[in-house]
Amino acid sequence: MKQVVKIIKIENLTHDVIRVVAEKPVGLKFLPGQAIDISINKNGWENELRAFTFTSLPDDKNIEFTIKTYPEHQGVTAQLASAISGDELILHDVFGDIHYKGEGLFIAGGAGVTPFIAILKHLEKENKIGNNKLLFANKTKADIILEE
């Protein structure tokens, strides 16, 4: 299932992490923690698929992704870092087995925290944070995503 959506907003969260907010297509279904293959609807980039984790919730109006960029590679993330509102993404298939299975200690490093952003947002919304804990590591303080 391919669906073309417009980027609504891109914002910098750190020196190399962006938040991409895009239109949510009708019928898109995913669980907090899952990912989707995305390509850019731009000549030469349509078949360059990369997987990104949803950091929005399934019932949010728009979809959101928190993405570590690698400008020196001149690849998909560099293209996304220079994208603007109105540019288009091609959404492909949703996938992934990372989802909430019960209370625990979750460990993540760097951009590996992204599945837990949506999972913890969902638990907070449902008032079910309970005894869940997230241990999150980065190389430097400047690398911390969504420190608050």
User: Percentages helix, strand, coil for the chain, rounded to the nearest 5?
Assistant: 20, 35, 45
Residues 107-132, mean pLDDT to the nearest whole number = 90
Cα 99 from Cα 101, distance rounded (Å)? 6
CATH architecture for the domain at 3-95: Beta Barrel (2.40)
117 secondary structure, DSSP code: H
Residues 105-132, mean pLDDT to the nearest whole number = 91
| pLDDT, tens digit (0-9, with 9 covering 90-100), for 123-139 | 999 999 999 999 888 77
pLDDT at 113: 87
| pLDDT, tens digit (0-9, with 9 covering 90-100), for 8-55 | 999 999 888 999 999 999 999 999 999 999 999 999 999 999 999 999
Segments making up each domain of the chain, as ranges: 3-95, 105-143
Q: Distance between terminal CA atoms of the chain? A: 36
